[in-house]
A and B are shown apart, each in its own frame.
Chain A
Amino acid sequence: MIPVDESRRKFLGTTAAAAGALALGPGVMLYSYAEAKAGSGAGERTIRWGMLVDTTKCASGCTACVDACNTEHNIAPAKLPTDVQWIRKVELKDERTGAVHSMPVMCQHCAEPPCVDVCPTGASFKRADGIVMVDRHTCIGCRYCMMACPYKARSFVHEPTTNKSSVAPRGKGCVESCTMCVHRVDKGGTPACVEACSDAGHRAIIFGDLNDPNSEIAKRVKAATTTQLRADLRTDNGVRYQGL
């Protein structure tokens, strides 16, 4: 494994950020928006949306989160490996002990997203609040981000879409992935998968602001040992797993 050169990554990051702030009027607003929404008394604190998946509560065979995601974004259930899939259920088995873990895997919303690093057009980007998304207006469908993603979280849309929904515009020729249901989050809601998991009685996924010390997710992350998938890559994922 080649160690990550963090100084280079930081340098590239700050250079890009400086260029963005200079060139883009709206870019400056993004930060002020996130801070303003973060609320009072917290000073310079910004939002970092994240999820915590408790693998001890996630039921094997339950696909409530996947189904909810498909319904929310008008995605057909994946049959082929090339079909669109924003979230999938993964079963891990420890061969020695026989312990089985079931868990959903989706875009991990990295703080240092490799998909953003490789995107040639700037379509793959990270919002000020930590959500990693594809701006499909600028995506050219080159699929570099799919190759770069360590979690295989992204899909390419090969076929024209039907029954378009107003909350999640999707079309042929672009790469897409979990958006942490931005359309809900921006209105103060929770992602569809989190809601479905709770409705199914498992409450295995919780959603919240990792930077808010009073949020449930921040308290849980502080109290228990949680892991980020492939933490060795130091992408600093916004999605964390408990009980792995």
Chain B
Amino acid sequence: MAAPALAKPPVLDKAKGEKCVEETSVMRKRHMDFLKHQRDDTVHGGIRGAKHSLAGCVECHANARDGAVLGSSQHFCQGCHEYAAVKLDCFDCHTSHTKSAQASQKRGVPR
């Protein structure tokens, strides 16, 4: 029996910045831990502006086309989460757009 063909790694949008807040290999493995740790500090302790912020991820990893990390298999967060088959809950509440993209988005009726 032939070995099953592996899915090709996703082709993702390039990030804006020169380098990430941690090594890429560390981020791949542990970004969820960093985010979870900092979110508790922020929500409960009011400590803001630390380096592992979700908004920080979005600002850097959003593409130039629509300023988002979500929307297609090419978008940074969505593309990789699809590849890894991991459900991505962050953006049920958090915005997937950069600050400037939010401002230029046509504001509909909020719910």
Which B52-95 residues have C-beta < 8 A from chain A? 55, 91-95
The residue in chain A whose Cβ has the minimal distance to the Cβ of B91 is A164
- Please classify how large the interface on chain A is, using the bins under 10, 10 to 19, 20 to 34, 35 or more: 35 or more
Q: Are B110 and A135 in contact (CB under 8 A)?
A: no
Q: Are B93 and A162 in contact (CB under 8 A)?
A: no
Of B40, B47, B48, B110, which one neighbours A163 at CB under 8 angstroms? B110
Q: Are B40 and A161 in contact (CB under 8 A)?
A: no
- Please classify how large the interface on chain B is, using the bins under 10, 10 to 19, 20 to 34, 35 or more: 20 to 34
Q: Are A160 and B95 in contact (CB under 8 A)?
A: no
Q: Which of A25-33, A92-100, A220-228 contacts B (4 or more CB under 8 A)?
A: A25-33
List the B side residues contacting A76 at CB < 8 Å: 109-111
Q: Are A161 and B102 in contact (CB under 8 A)?
A: no
List the A side residues contacting B111 at CB < 8 Å: 76, 159-162
> Given A76-B109, A166-B55 in contact, is the A136-B93 Cβ separation under 8 Å?
yes
> Given A161-B93, A166-B99 in contact, is the A26-B110 Cβ separation under 8 Å?
no
Q: Are B45 and A33 in contact (CB under 8 A)?
A: yes
Which A23-56 residues have C-beta < 8 A from chain B? 26-27, 29-30, 33
Q: Are A187 and B48 in contact (CB under 8 A)?
A: yes
Kindly state the separation between the CA atoms of A185 and B42 in the bound complex, as whole angstroms.
13
Of B44, B48, B95, B107, which one neighbours A26 at CB under 8 angstroms? B44
Q: Are A30 and B44 in contact (CB under 8 A)?
A: yes
> Given A75-B110, A162-B111 in contact, is the A26-B99 Cβ separation under 8 Å?
no
Q: List 20 A-B contacts (CB under 8 A).
A: A29-B41, A29-B45, A33-B46, A33-B47, A74-B110, A75-B110, A76-B110, A125-B44, A133-B43, A135-B43, A135-B44, A137-B40, A162-B109, A164-B93, A164-B94, A164-B95, A165-B102, A169-B94, A171-B92, A182-B46
Q: Top 9 closest A-B pairs, CB basis?
A: A171-B93, A164-B95, A169-B93, A74-B110, A171-B92, A169-B94, A186-B46, A30-B45, A76-B110
Chain B: residues with CB nearer than 8 A to chain A?
A: 39-41, 43-48, 55, 91-96, 99, 102, 105, 107-111
